[in-house]
Amino acid sequence: MKRKADRDQIRRQNRSIVLQALRRNGPMARIDLGQTTRLSPATVTAITSDLLEQELILSLESEEPKTPQARGRPRTLLKLNPDVVYTIGVRLSVNNIDLALVNFAGEVVRSERCHFDSATEDADSFPETLIGTIRQFLDEAGISSSRVREIGVAAQGVVETETGVVAWSPAFAGRKIPVVGPLHEAFGADCYISNDTNMITEALHWSDPARYSGTFAVIMLDYGVGMGLYLDNRLFSGASGTAAEFGHANHLPGGALCRCGKKGCLEAYLSDYALVRAASHLPENTDPGTIKAGVSGLARLIELASSGDKDACGAFHEAGRVLGYGLARVIAMIDPKRIVLTGAAMRAFCFMEKGMWEGLEEALVADLRNNFSLDVMPWNEDFIRSGLIAQSMERLDKDFRGNATSLSDRIARLDGKEATA
């Protein structure tokens, strides 16, 4: 029995490898699939035959011109069937809900940004706001909710992946915002939620697994401060899903007031409001909600630093030192191969870099701090969406393993369920 289970597991893994190869590379011939995946011709033939029967992939003749010496039929290319199923990626941030409708090929077929009022939405009101927004989005796309297999959500703040709740976030007026439960009840789809920086980490692993694998960390300096961790080739979120809350680890007991309500968090020295507060010489107990920061506030601070303003330069330098201290803790605890810095504040990294290395040198012995590489990556919001898509496609590939039902039968069954409902 164990030998059969091992064979089944290997077969399922090989199916996933083939699907991922087609998703990454587009239409491919069987011989190219074998070379890319390093699977034997017999294995590729067996797997693709099953996938064709299930209508998860389609065959089409190659349009490559034949050479004068070539004989026989044109090469048959295989491609993912994009209409098998759809997923929705949702990003929740301050005042914004970003939506992406994604097909089985991992392609975004529709995207939209909708606005809500972060100052008023709480656990009672936000679930209905989100459900209504998604319903309208699907109606405008002309896609039945029965075709949506999964909804993946990435949110700012402290996210409990196990309970499907946003425990705390600057995007909401209240705490403990239920997300997964209400979405599943409304749409019948599988629903998942994660911290937004975790999705950046997932996106980097998906886009360049040779570089971003093993153990590495991603730190995002932006509206807040977030971290994503890959430990031993797996995204790490902890027992309840709230792990790697780098921004809310304490830097200085009784220190500057953080947006979470505590004092001395790393975020209270590194985020956009913290930088503006320091450069403006505001008291450290100034309420972050009263500080005009955001994209425009950070951009203005960068302009001032670029012109040599001492207050702005000093604020960035001191933030760099705090970042160095924070990095020292991460390095000492998990020994990452690589650390990635990203987020809107990376536009000011040239003003922070010297302070960062000073802080790191003060906080950690050379034997520990010389074993990692640092990547400073320009901010791109698409990282979060790409991470949602990567996770979603991986789950779909597992979901369809061994499911021999054809696409037409699945659609008929799903449409029947919706009609009954």
**What's the pLDDT tens digit per position in 30-84?**
999 999 999 999 999 999 999 999 999 999 876 555 555 555 556 789 999 999 9
Provide long-range contacts, Cβ within 8 A and 24+ apart, for 94-99: 94/118, 94/156, 94/170, 94/171, 94/223, 95/171, 97/130, 97/133, 98/381, 98/385, 99/133, 99/134, 99/137
- At residue 402 the predicted structure's pLDDT band, cuts being 50, 70 and 90, is very low
379-413 in b/e burial notation, b at 16+ Cβ within 10 A? beeebbbbbbbbbbbbbbbeebbeeeeebeebbee
Q: What is the mean pLDDT of the chain?
A: 90
With pLDDT > 70 as the criterion, what percentage of the chain qualifies? 90
What would the pLDDT profile of 153-182 be if each residue is shown by its tens digit?
A: 999 889 999 999 999 998 999 999 999 999
pLDDT at 328 over 60: yes
Does residue 88 contact residue 102 with C-beta atoms inside 8 Å?
yes
pTM of the predicted protein model: 0.86
pLDDT at 400 over 90: no
Q: In angstroms, rounded to a whole number, what is the distance separating the alpha carbons of residues 278 and 316? A: 9
Region 84-103: what's the mean pLDDT?
A: 96
Give the residue with greater pLDDT, 381 vs 197.
197
What would the pLDDT profile of 183-204 be if each residue is shown by its tens digit?
A: 999 999 999 999 999 999 999 9
Which DSSP letter does residue 278 get?
Answer: H
Region 241-250: what's the mean pLDDT?
A: 87
